[in-house]
Structure 1
């Protein structure tokens, strides 16, 4: 009997409800796996219907079409002579389960429902699925007629069971189960399971990949075994980007690493491993026989061997070091891949960005440029799907992109919308960056539109509002700022819809927003201003990380114009200039720095701190730089801003999710948007604490 086995695990760019496309990509992955000698193919979670179906999972159509795709997979010649492990929703006894369906040669071997559901962060699996709450319990699942016609089976095992082939034993766990304190692989390993599979739909967050790698390696480092990790990749139709990272590990070592960010719709990672390495590792380190109260798993036996007798010439994969991306690289690649998926699937012809010459809009522009670099590289690497997509987008079936600047000119329009309050410095910074990345740049002035709107107001009310610098009230000052910001949004959409028309070209442009996560958190933007857009690639990224990203772009893309942008203070430029210079800065308006705001954001969301808890934590963290009274003032200022502006989160542009403290109202940050902004009880508690601390320090 052979001892070497070749496994295949996949990252697929599946799309919610795209049953035709999803089927095609699944079949392609199986075909590649077989060509590489694999006898077991693992795919990502819910790959048949797409992970992000959300409330479409309530619809019987979604279940029906998933079964129809499964029937086609079972019948396809491509799926013969290889064990296929696919993900789909299944209804069993009127409960909906997130399942793995494992089949071979037109026979379903078993269906394994998910046991621990993800119900945190962006995940709401309990909304759509029931967990399988009976460990090591198996029932009979009666197959629907369309599947019976293919398999000639009436029922198949359904539940927490494992698959026993001629040469090894394989057990499944799914996504969040690996993150659980009592992961299934622990008990499966004690029961002699040698190969663990994990099908995931794990989305990207900055600095998150190392957690996945650590979990996969630790799953087999204590008790040995082979671990296959498959993951969804791409934009599934929502704010999330699934970042691949398929991997294979054995006995605590990574032996194969897939790409984290890629424009390839189908990536198949194969690895050849020696089963005897698992047995030797366990024989020295593990003693499963001492666990007397262990209940064995039900084994579904299959007369099929994953290995060949003549495997002497097969070369096994050796341990390797995982190559992690830096946070700056993650910002460059993740949102760029997300934008590419959004562009090619939306039917639009490109992007339009209001480019102000500041850090935020410049970061968005650099991400679009990074997307163009990725597209050119993919075409150079003979990615026919990317080539077909770009030819369709630009409307030229003979076009082959080679230069990112030239491609950027075709896809990307930037627009500087200046006013009498804009400085020449920001105008020139925007122009220089646009020239370096190659965007189609428009320079216009919004004063005429602003004065027209104010003229209507004055005609109706006979009142002329003034800026604070000219003696106006705070309310007048704010209104005059907001009308400029909102005019920019209207003009952005006008130019997005008609720019290509004016050039005699077909199609429209997607409007890009550029409010960072810290501005969203504090509400430091105008509702329905130019931050209101179709999508926002930086809405989940902090100002601090964006600055680091621009430093990276200076060197990596040779964009020297970014140096001036990085050196300038952040400003909205909505108040009158003083002697031709900007007098308004973001941090002065907010009453705190972006670095302070990022920390506050993490305490609010990640550490789940209310005003008093946050004050106590910050009093310790900032004790070298701030007095208790100063800390209290900053905490109160933040919560006032947060509660006053929280309503803006209900209308914020859908943003790429990248940070664990994102205030996205859609589902990640489930908080009300109407508050008592005085926070009377909480602030009184803080004030009492400040008094106690100051009295103690004074020796009373």
Structure 2
């Protein structure tokens, strides 16, 4: 009857500027799609060059190599008899566009440039690309290398759709789905039945449901089939693209890909009945053509997605989407990101200064989770993962048997003790290292600290003292910082040479463990052991990390975490009192971690300055704090924030998991030199507090 179509979408682990690997993964996905009977294959955004090329998009090389890959795809026999939809940058009339190129049997059908740019949060697309004008179609003159393959001089370039013999297909690109005037609205009213979306959407905690609901809503209102493709993995930056390729019809998801996976190429196919779309629209969405509606420019294609004998072909039925909990997301997302970084950096493992506290323990548990995922992938027959694992450990015959055993080969932890360290934190670190299987070391830094202070004393004739021993605040702070910075120096020394001492090749990547809330106030030493190669928890709140560790107790049977969770967070940089810790993080910061999370979201997501933040918090915290106490909290935060903002210019590259991250690099574009007195802003707060205390509340 010619009414059932099989279509394919995919998640690919592409890597910026890896044209060789990217083209291989694209061809593999097309081959899988064909094997599963698909007649249309959709891939992620900018899949040929990788989405994260950033300022490499300015380079003519990036455009040239993208066309060279396109030529390879056009010539490959794998791409025959299937409509292929691939993404790449293209320059048209000396302007760069983020484009989809649709081709069939060595002929380019159309080039669809992106019309709505993602220019918020971590995205800066207008820096490299211009948006195309809606409903405009022009002729694009193909490069000679492409003309030689296709025999075409020009092809349609612009906002147009494909009309095959049996249906009509329209394109959206990533952010266009999120916009209030999404192209699928007008396309649906004009009879387009299949919508495609090529995306590079990154993972944030608790974000997946937004994406799924948008796809469902796009087809619930006016019917239709929706194919969503997404990039997967770390393509060279702080974000992890989390897959979730899917197919929907008439408001229901019928096929779902994994959100977190170590599989580089995942193809999702679905067989759908176009008559379901037509009957859905006929009953619920009878077209009411508006006078200002401009019809889509259609490109006719002598090709059918359906066959003449498909009456017995089963169609995909609605499924229930499984959403991960936030704790599962923390366990899986950063773990996949770490693995991509490790295997692509060609290093031999990780080293982590393990203090026995919540933060470093969370980082250790994420590495353990990575080892669990690797063993599962190998057991499931993933030969690519096994090949990468063998290369990392330097053993071509190695087969990982258990996460704990693998952890011992690629993960080194060290407890860096000083005279200010307690036995409790030392034993907690040792116990956790034993349970996850890391190679663990105890390192005493007192000799190094005394050496550094000896140099200082020889030059100045003075020996600084801790506050507990009669020293000033400046002396106390300097003595804490020298311990923290020496730990960073020692961490890198052991990362470079610890494998050498065991007769093994390679070096280790140093992992950081500062959480997002500490970064907000700058509660860490610049260039201390929070300074590392990468930090998997730098975008995660302390509150979420505690919940994650509770999850790890049950999921991985890491009972050592129970004691870590009940211990008060402490830097252990000041002298002990009767052998016990007297310094705590929350006392040093002047507020709790839960209060910091609220303030961080108001600062970044709600875009609050000191006064507007105070106005919101007096209502949010009215049951626990007076207006005067709220004012004190707000002032203290902004003083700390502005004094320490310079630290964000050197913060370790962190996994981007929260939209209130203070990361200065490309995300939180604020100054790092402030007038820390905030005189005008604080005066407005004081006036409001004074007014609140003199006026009786209105009834």
Post-superposition CA distance 1:300-332 (Å, at most 9, x none):
000000000111221101111110000000000
Report the CA distance between 1:697 and its aligned residue: 3.3
Q: Distance in 2 between matches of 1:86 and 1:474?
A: 60
Report the CA distance between 1:293 and its aligned residue: 2.2
Post-superposition CA distance 1:27-60 (Å, at most 9, x none):
0000000000000000000000000000000000
1:35 is aligned to 2:35: yes
Moved over 3 A (4+): none
- SS where residue 109 of structure 2 aligns? strand
- SS where residue 198 of structure 1 aligns? strand
Post-superposition CA distance 1:647-670 (Å, at most 9, x none):
000000000000010001001100
1:492 is aligned to 2:491: yes
Aligned partner of 1:242 in structure 2 is: 241
Aligned partner of 1:543 in structure 2 is: 542
1:130 is aligned to 2:130: yes
Q: Distance in 2 between matches of 1:138 and 1:462?
A: 78
Report the CA distance between 1:290 and its aligned residue: 3.3
Report the CA distance between 1:291 and its aligned residue: 1.9
Q: Distance in 1 between matches of 2:401 and 2:696?
A: 67
Q: How do 1:465-614 and structure 2 match up within 5 A? A: 465-614=464-613
Report the CA distance between 1:696 and its aligned residue: 1.1
Structure 2: gaps (5+ residues): none
- SS where residue 665 of structure 1 aligns? coil
- SS where residue 690 of structure 1 aligns? helix
Q: Distance in 2 between matches of 1:687 and 1:448?
A: 49
Aligned partner of 1:376 in structure 2 is: 375
Aligned partner of 1:102 in structure 2 is: 102
Aligned partner of 2:159 in structure 1 is: 160
Aligned partner of 2:57 in structure 1 is: 57
Report the CA distance between 1:495 and its aligned residue: 0.1
Report the CA distance between 1:186 and its aligned residue: 0.2
Post-superposition CA distance 1:34-91 (Å, at most 9, x none):
0000000000000000000000000000000000000000000000000000000000
Distance verdict in 2 for CA 1:698–1:40, change over 3 Å: closer
1:217 is aligned to 2:216: yes
Post-superposition CA distance 1:562-605 (Å, at most 9, x none):
00000000000000000000000000001100000000000000
Aligned partner of 1:80 in structure 2 is: 80
Aligned partner of 1:14 in structure 2 is: 14
- SS where residue 341 of structure 1 aligns? helix
Distance verdict in 2 for CA 1:232–1:698, change over 3 Å: closer
Report the CA distance between 1:292 and its aligned residue: 2.5
- SS where residue 162 of structure 1 aligns? strand
Report the CA distance between 1:402 and its aligned residue: 1.8
Report the CA distance between 1:698 and its aligned residue: 8.0
Report the CA distance between 1:289 and its aligned residue: 3.8
Aligned partner of 2:660 in structure 1 is: 661
Q: Distance in 2 between matches of 1:31 and 1:183?
A: 31
Give yes or no for contact 2:642–2:676 (8 Å, CA) kept in 1.
yes
Q: Distance in 2 between matches of 1:294 and 1:55?
A: 38
Report the CA distance between 1:405 and its aligned residue: 0.3
Aligned partner of 1:396 in structure 2 is: 395
Structure 1: gaps (5+ residues): none
Post-superposition CA distance 1:192-228 (Å, at most 9, x none):
0000000000000000000000100000101000000
Aligned partner of 1:354 in structure 2 is: 353
Aligned partner of 1:330 in structure 2 is: 329
Aligned partner of 1:117 in structure 2 is: 117
Q: Distance in 2 between matches of 1:698 and 1:97?
A: 57
Report the CA distance between 1:637 and its aligned residue: 0.4
Give yes or no for contact 2:223–2:251 (8 Å, CA) kept in 1.
yes
Report the CA distance between 1:125 and its aligned residue: 0.2
Give yes or no for contact 2:96–2:130 (8 Å, CA) kept in 1.
yes
Aligned partner of 1:408 in structure 2 is: 407
Aligned partner of 2:339 in structure 1 is: 340
Aligned partner of 1:147 in structure 2 is: 146
Report the CA distance between 1:287 and its aligned residue: 2.4
- SS where residue 697 of structure 1 aligns? coil
Q: Distance in 2 between matches of 1:390 and 1:625?
A: 52
Aligned-residue CA RMSD in angstroms? 0.9
Report the CA distance between 1:451 and its aligned residue: 0.4
Report the CA distance between 1:136 and its aligned residue: 1.1
Aligned partner of 2:24 in structure 1 is: 24
- SS where residue 692 of structure 1 aligns? helix
Q: Distance in 2 between matches of 1:292 and 1:251?
A: 26
Q: Distance in 2 between matches of 1:399 and 1:81?
A: 41
Post-superposition CA distance 1:427-482 (Å, at most 9, x none):
00000000000000000100000000000000000001000001100000000000
- SS where residue 443 of structure 1 aligns? strand
Post-superposition CA distance 1:336-394 (Å, at most 9, x none):
00000000000100000000000000000000000000000000000010000000111
Q: Distance in 2 between matches of 1:301 and 1:64?
A: 29
Give yes or no for contact 2:189–2:289 (8 Å, CA) kept in 1.
no
Post-superposition CA distance 1:539-576 (Å, at most 9, x none):
00000000000000000000000000000000000000
- SS where residue 229 of structure 1 aligns? strand
- SS where residue 141 of structure 1 aligns? strand
Q: Distance in 2 between matches of 1:483 and 1:613?
A: 38
Q: Distance in 1 between matches of 2:417 and 2:4?
A: 66
Q: Distance in 1 between matches of 2:292 and 2:130?
A: 28
Post-superposition CA distance 1:500-528 (Å, at most 9, x none):
00111000000000000000111000000
Q: Distance in 2 between matches of 1:197 and 1:575?
A: 59
- SS where residue 290 of structure 1 aligns? coil
- SS where residue 544 of structure 1 aligns? helix
Q: How many residues align?
A: 699
Q: Distance in 1 between matches of 2:178 and 2:369?
A: 32
- SS where residue 268 of structure 2 aligns? strand
Superposition TM-score, scaled by structure 1 size = 0.99
Q: Distance in 2 between matches of 1:555 and 1:90?
A: 50
Aligned partner of 2:425 in structure 1 is: 426
Report the CA distance between 1:135 and its aligned residue: 1.3
Q: Distance in 2 between matches of 1:656 and 1:135?
A: 36
Q: Distance in 1 between matches of 2:529 and 2:621?
A: 35
Q: Distance in 2 between matches of 1:604 and 1:335?
A: 25
1:197 is aligned to 2:196: yes
1:632 is aligned to 2:631: yes
Aligned partner of 1:643 in structure 2 is: 642
Q: Distance in 2 between matches of 1:240 and 1:377?
A: 24
Q: Distance in 1 between matches of 2:422 and 2:38?
A: 62
Report the CA distance between 1:409 and its aligned residue: 0.1
After the TM superposition, which of the residue ranges 170-179 and 689-698 deviates more from structure 2? 689-698
- SS where residue 86 of structure 1 aligns? strand
Post-superposition CA distance 1:588-647 (Å, at most 9, x none):
001100000000000000000000000000000000000000000000000000000000
